[in-house]
Amino acid sequence: ELLEDGWEVWATVRSAEAQERFTASGVHCVMFTDDAPLDPAQQALHRATHLLVTAAPTDGGDPMLAKLEQSLKDASKLQWVGYLSTVGVYGDVGGEKVDESTRLEPLTQRAKRRVYAEKQWLDTGLPVHIFRLPGIYGPNRGPLEKVRTGSARRVLKEGHVFSRVHVDDISLVLSASIA
């Protein structure tokens, strides 16, 4: 969508296959692996006005901040930073509804890492927007795709509620936030 609107879009990738796929769709790519040089990512950040962070954090926190925190703070053109997190940061709320004021009580290690990464991003002083997403579905992903591929599993838990969001709806919300 952003490409169609005339945006110049850059992405960090971790494999040559991802780089090829994104480049074919018009996205500029920077390799972001443990052994990749940081200069290309730093140069892209200094030109960036908007940054969407999607990488999963490690036990040490957000991988981009671990390598590029000072470059991010020096990126004077940044007007918007979006961080994709998870509703898992709320823990088990027993079927109750949650919103941004709900207390964070992560139960899994994955959710605890997200809470830590959210805090890291908020502490940068950058214009950060946190998006806590439920299970994502859309083309080639989600519960129906898991049935097709034979990787589905049953969850037999009395009163268990699933929350899902379509990838196109995420795109719309992010576009509205950026505007």
pTM of the model: 0.88
Instruction: Give the residue from 19, 77, 91, 14 showing the smallest Cα distance to 43.
Output: 77
CB atoms within 10 A of CB 170: 15
Q: How confident is the model at residue 111 (pLDDT cuts 50, 70, 90)?
A: very high
Q: What are phi and psi of 47, to 5 degrees?
A: -95, -15
DSSP assigned state of 35: T
DSSP assigned state of 44: H
With tokens 């850059």, the residue in question is 10
Whats the size of the chain, residue-wise?
179
Proportion of the chain above pLDDT 90, given as a percent: 61
> What pLDDT score was predicted for residue 20?
95
DSSP assigned state of 83: E
Q: Is the pLDDT of residue 152 over 90?
A: no
